[in-house]
Each structure stands twice: as C-alpha cells, then as structure tokens.
Structure 1
Amino acid sequence: MPSTDQLSAFVDAVFVHLQRADQRRRGHAYLHGLLTVPGKKTVRSVAAAATDSPTASQSLQQFVNSSPWHWEAVRHELACWAETRLRPQAWTVATTVLPKRGDHSVGVHRRFVPQLGRTVNCQVGIGLFLSDRVSAVPVDWRLHLPEDWSLPCLRGQARVPSNVRPLPIWADALDMVDRLKRSGDLAPAPLVADIRGTRRTSELLRLLMRHGHDFVLAVPGDLTVVPVSEAGRELQASNASSLGAPHGLVRLPSTTGGRSRETYRLVTERRRPAVVWITNMVRQRTDELLSLVECHAATGEAARELALDFGLQDFEGRSYPGWHRYMTLMSAAYAYRRLADVP
C-alpha cells in the first residue's frame, strides 16, 4: 500500500502543470488504483480502490478521456523525476503489442506477431525508457498508426490530431529520442534498441548519426556492411562481426556511389542465437558496450511487469488522447513503485 503522503508528493511533482485541484485529486486516485488493484485495471476497479462514491468511475473515465490536460508535460516531469533516482545509463525502446477485440480502438489493425506465431487484432505501442542495468522506467510513448489510419473517418472517431500521421515504428522511436534530447533537462544517454524488425535499417542509422545520437542497436544479420580494412568488400553484418578487430569496424555501403564516411563497430553477444549489435561509439571497450546491452534486457523485463501488474493492456477507451493519458498514468505508477524509495 503506497504511503499517502509520499504518493501525494509524487503527484504534486509530476502533475505540477495541472492547474485544477480536482484534476490532481483524480490523478492521485488513478495512480492509487493502478498501484493497489490486483489483476485487470478497469476504470471501475481503479475507482473502487480510491473511494466508494458512485460517481467516481465516471469522474476517472472523464479524467482520462476528455479532461483537458497535456500528457507531454506530465511525461517530461516524470522523466526528470525518474532521472534523479535512476541515473540512467541508456535510453531504451520497447515495442509492445496490445491485443484488442473489434475494430474501434484507436490504431487497431491486424498484425502478424512473430513471438506469438500468428496474426492478431491489436494496437502497437512504442515506449521510450530510462534504463540502468537493473531497472527501466517508461517516460514517453507513441501509438503506431498504420496507413489505414490516414482515413478521415477513422481519425475523427478516435480524435487523432491533424498533425499526427502514420509513421514507421522506427520513425516514432526517433521522434521520441529527439524530443527528449531537445528538452535539455536530461543528460544525454546512448540509445539502446533492437531494430532487427526494421526494414530501413541503414536509413535509421544514418539519421541517428545526423541527429547526433550515440547508439547501440541490434541489427539484422543480413545488414550489408563494408569492413574498414577491406574497402569495397561488402559482407553481411553476421559475417563481418565474426572477423574480429580491426574488422569489427565497418561502414555502410554508400547510397551515392562514393565512399561512406561514418564508421561503426559491430559487437556480437556470446549466446545462441547470436545477436549482432552496431554502434557509433567505436572507442568504447567491448565490455562497456555489452553493459549497455544489458539495459535493453532490463527494458524487456519492465515491459512484462507493465503488462502483468500495471494494466498495460487494460485501457478500454477508444480515443487517441485517452490512450496517451492512460499510458502516462500507468508509466507514472510504475515509476513510483520502482523508484519512490530511492533517495
């Protein structure tokens, strides 16, 4: 059971931009419910954990779906609060599949999920986490919108803002990383992510370099690279990474016929099946790079906890603003549980 005073102080910190006292009270009630209700986190069960008022459920439903508070400001305060306690070594990305019934939820589509071995009706959320090797806390989210969600009828029903367009998952992830870096309030950290499912891997690598991000990324083994010591000889990343130093230094094939200037390094984890990671931090020791890879494992564990204990898959509303506000509340509850007792 969370301490009332401690939780109130946390709510005051992360909801500082909410001007109305009733909004902060509802934020406190929703977090309390997410932290205490076992099993499925419905609005009704969350409300019942906070009060026996017969109108509480309706009030919390309104707080998530239609109350005019901006989730971006809350997430920013959450990131700042979490950084002081977590001291993150990396910013990590996790993609989560949220199964849905019917076709009315915002962003819902049919998708083949390799981990399940079948096609499911779902939403896809992309989360950005602050991570050390032990803990990872979500501080921003994007909802993947497939191309079908360009249709005005779907967007109007789900209240999708006009400036939000369908993008590849990797583009949504890059936007979150850019936004966190531009805020200037957090110390930059390397991006660690698994992009083996990305079709345009080389393009993403070049964009990350252009935007000034350090990174360690798991890449497809068939990514074409050119070893620095063997200019002109193209290899697949899975083969190039096994050559050892100095062959671990590679470039990407040029898109203009000239010589690509950016140098990367390939590192392979010693496990089966082997995973190839590419980084632009070519001077870092191998053990330091593999330590960053462990931050990604911590993110996977956090995503599982969010699904099991914090209601990641339980949002029942259909609107785009409602989805983002719910994910913000869930992230805040998770951060509080993991970090509230950290000085």
Structure 2
Amino acid sequence: MLSHTLHERFESYLEALAPRLGHADRVPSFKDYCYGLMLSLPRKSVEPIAASVDPARVQARHQALHHLVAKSSWSDQALLMGVAQWVLPYLPADTPRYWIIDDTAIRKKGRHSVGVSRQYCGEIGKQDNCQAAVSLSVATEQASLPVAWQLYLPTSWTDHPERCRQAGVPADVTFATKPDIALQQVGQTLEAGIEPGIILADAAYGKKTSWREQLAEWGLTYCVGVQEDLSVWAPGSDPLPSRWSGIGRPPKHVRKPDEDQPVSVKALALETDDFQTITWREGTNKPLASRFAALRVRVARGRQYREPEWLLMEWPQGADEPSHYWLSNQPASTPLNTLVRTAKARWRIERDYQELKQEVGLDHYEGRNWRGFHHHASLCIAAYGFLVAERLRCREQKKISLFPAPALPEDYWPRGHATGTATRQ
C-alpha cells in the first residue's frame, strides 16, 4: 500500500513542473494526465486515463486531456528541462556521467500516424511498420533520464509535404538523419546548461567520422561504436605529413608512406593477441565479462590528419571473430577496464525504453499528429522522471510501485464497445 507521503511528493513534483506548461488553464489536465500515467492501467491512452481520473465525467475529461496532448502548444523542451532540473541533482556526483544517444521504435498499424513507415524495429529485430524516435539520456551506473526526444521522419514523409501537413508536422521540419537529430539534441542540451557526460552511442551513430569530429569540436568526450570496416592506421604505421616547402601555412593533410597502409579495425583485431578478460558489472545471474583489447590508432578516412584515439575491441571467449568495436577520445592514460565499463554503460538506455513503455505507457498513444506524439512522450518522461528520482532518493528500495488504479463505475463502457445485455467481464 502506497503511503500518502509518496502522493504528496508527486503533487509537489507536478507543482514544480506546472509553470513549464506556459498557461494556468493547462495545469489541471497536466496533473490528471501525469497521474493517469502513474496508475496501474493496462492501457494508458487518453480515454482510459480520463475514465480513471474522473469516472463521473469521462467524456468531458477525455476532451480536456485530448486538448492538452494533441492541440495545446506548450513546449516539450521546456517541460523536459524542468524534469531534468528536478531529477538530475539526485544522480550521484562521485560516479562517471554519460550522455546516451539511441533510438527506439514504436510499432503501429496503418499509414496515417505521423512518421510511420516500414523500417527497422529493434523490438523484433527486423523491418516492421513503426515510428522511430531519437533520444538523449543523462545517465550514471545507478540511473538514467531522457532529456531530449524527437520523432524521426523518413523520406516517405518529408518528400510529401501534404502528408506532413495533415499530420501537423511543423513547416520548418525537414528531413534529418538520426545522427543529425542526435547532434541537434546534444547542442540543445549543452545550451540548456546540463553538465556534459561521456557520449555513448552505437555504430549507427559512431560510424560517421564527421559526427564524431563535431562532438570533439564541442569539447566532448565520446566512446561510440564503429563498424568492422572502419579504416585506421595501426600503431607504428602513422601517416606521413605532406611535404612542406617552408612557404605559407604548414599542410594539414597527410600522405601515405610507401610501405604502410591503413587497415580495417577487424583486420587489426585479428592480428592482436593480447585480449584480456574484463568484468564490467554484475548481471542478473552472474558477473558480465568478455575478452577485450585496446590500441591507440588514427582514423584513416580522408586526408585530414587526425589525433590518436582508443580503438576498443571485444572478442568473446569461444567466438570465431571479434564482435564489437568502439572508438574513444578518452585520455591516452585511460586503463582498459575503464574503457570497457564506459563502452558497456550504454545498456541503461534499453532500461529507459523498457520502463517508459511498460511502466508509463510511452507506446500507448493512439493519436496521429506530430504534437500529440511529442506531448505524450514528454508527459511519459515526466512521470518516469518522478520514479527515477524516488528510486535515487530511497536507494534501499529497488522498485517504486505505481499507484493502484481506481475501480471504474459499473455503467462505464469504453468507446466503441458493444453495450448489449451481456454481463460485463
């Protein structure tokens, strides 16, 4: 049974966030919607929430909640920054901090929901009809919180302005790749004054040299996945500087030596014989461990001279070949076990997505427009943020339960339900 104190803290939390909505008239619906997301409901779309928070006036409450989510013009970024200001101070200050970039898919039927298309769905590991959103989470080993969230629009949408208009996509939203969206989110989060962390991302993001270079230009540290065909200069085979006549500026480009040539990171890993077994954290049933090696290399794409970076390679015991590769601009003095723990810290984003969907109904929104998609996600992150803060505040409790759902009136029927004489089950 939840204590009244928890409800009071949730009310204080919502009061602190309420000014982010921009207008006092939105606050009652904001509180109702967030409270509904915290209830133990099987479905957390607008109507079940309306029926649970105001069972005597379901239709009126439904209209108010629908207006808040699908039509009202409050700022998602402002609300998410308010959530961050409340939650992030609870993160331990004496542990490494990460900014985790990733994307998640939400499966959908039909073709009218904004951004829906046949694309890769990580939930099932293959192509499916779904929406995809890019997020940035601030994390430590103990907890994580999304602070940015944006729908990815494939060209099947951006190449058809009328389709976008019907779904309420703002006119200034044009096609952007997922890495482009992620860079925008990093820039916005820096501008918001949130303490930077080590950027973590998989190879879908880290494979782009220009993407990594932008992070470095902003002064950020990263440890990101790369693909096995990435070309690098192996240790001891650095490229030669271009010849300089002594007149004008020294050249920044490099020339390849006569004998040494760049190699793929896979080829380099296959030639490396000093893989070590490293345990990076405790798993559910046993410690998580694998075999790793790290080398200082220079990326060989293009003729631009690049500083040395860490190439971290994983080759599980018994596997025929290496399985994962990361590039990191962490200091040259960084120990191997620190590199491994950093690379593997990205697992927390999967927990974010799982709990956002299973606990607070991130994937339950039934509307079709751009604003509703983002507003529902922001409100879900607000509810999730309270759970994160409570877990960090009460560290002896590994799980903070949702609020129990109230009983619905006997005469309540969901919209579209056949209301014949059959007994309600």
Fold similarity call, TM over 0.5 = yes
Cα distance per residue 1:79-113 (max 9 Å; x no partner): 22221012471010221111111111111111144
Aligned residues with identical type, % of pairs: 25
Query: In the alignment, which residue of structure 1 is the partner of 2:256?
Result: none
Q: Does 1:13 align with 2:20?
A: no
Give TM-score scaled by structure 1 length. 0.91
Give distance in 1, aligned partners of 2:131 and 2:216. Answer: 30
Q: Give the direction of change, closer, same or farther, for the CA distance of 1:286–1:16 in structure 2 (3 Å limit).
A: farther
The structure carrying a bigger helix percent of its residues is 1
RMSD (CA atoms) = 2.3
Q: Give the direction of change, closer, same or farther, for the CA distance of 1:114–1:181 in structure 2 (3 Å limit).
A: closer
Say which SS state the counterpart of residue 179 (structure 1) adopts: helix
Query: In the alignment, which residue of structure 2 is the partner of 1:123?
Result: 131
User: Which aligned pairs between 1:255-334 and structure 2 lie closer than 5 A?
Assistant: 255=302, 257=303, 259-269=304-314, 271=316, 274-283=323-332, 284-334=334-384
Query: In the alignment, which residue of structure 2 is the partner of 1:177?
Result: 186
The counterpart of 2:209, out of the listed 193, 199, 202, is: 202
Query: Which residue identity lines up with residue 295 of structure 2 in the other structure?
Result: G
The question of whether the paired residues in 1 share the 8 Å contact of 2:206 and 2:226 is answered with no
Give distance in 2, aligned partners of 1:199 and 1:9. Answer: 40
Say which SS state the counterpart of residue 105 (structure 2) adopts: strand
The counterpart of 2:63, out of the listed 58, 61, 80, is: 58
The counterpart of 2:79, out of the listed 62, 74, 98, is: 74
Say which SS state the counterpart of residue 19 (structure 2) adopts: coil
Cα distance per residue 1:266-291 (max 9 Å; x no partner): 11246466321111113322222222
Cα distance per residue 1:202-235 (max 9 Å; x no partner): 2222222223221111111221112242124312
User: Which aligned pairs between 1:84-163 and structure 2 lie closer than 5 A?
Assistant: 84-87=89-92, 89-113=97-121, 116-150=124-158, 151-163=160-172
Give TM-score scaled by structure 2 length. 0.74
Cα distance per residue 1:34-88 (max 9 Å; x no partner): 1113322121111222222221111111100111211111111112222101247
Query: In the alignment, which residue of structure 2 is the partner of 1:238?
Result: 266
Query: In the alignment, which residue of structure 2 is the partner of 1:248?
Result: 295
Gaps of 5+ in 2: 240-260, 276-292, 394-425
Give distance in 2, aligned partners of 1:167 and 1:320. Answer: 15
* Deviation of the 1:137 alpha carbon: 1.5
Query: Which residue identity lines up with residue 184 of structure 2 in the other structure?
Result: D
Query: In the alignment, which residue of structure 1 is the partner of 2:46?
Result: 43
* Deviation of the 1:19 alpha carbon: 3.9
Q: Does 1:336 align with 2:386?
A: yes
Q: Give the direction of change, closer, same or farther, for the CA distance of 1:297–1:26 in structure 2 (3 Å limit).
A: same
Q: Give the direction of change, closer, same or farther, for the CA distance of 1:93–1:199 in structure 2 (3 Å limit).
A: closer
Say which SS state the counterpart of residue 282 (structure 1) adopts: coil
The question of whether the paired residues in 1 share the 8 Å contact of 2:17 and 2:83 is answered with yes
Say which SS state the counterpart of residue 342 (structure 1) adopts: helix
* Deviation of the 1:16 alpha carbon: 2.4
Gaps of 5+ in 1: none
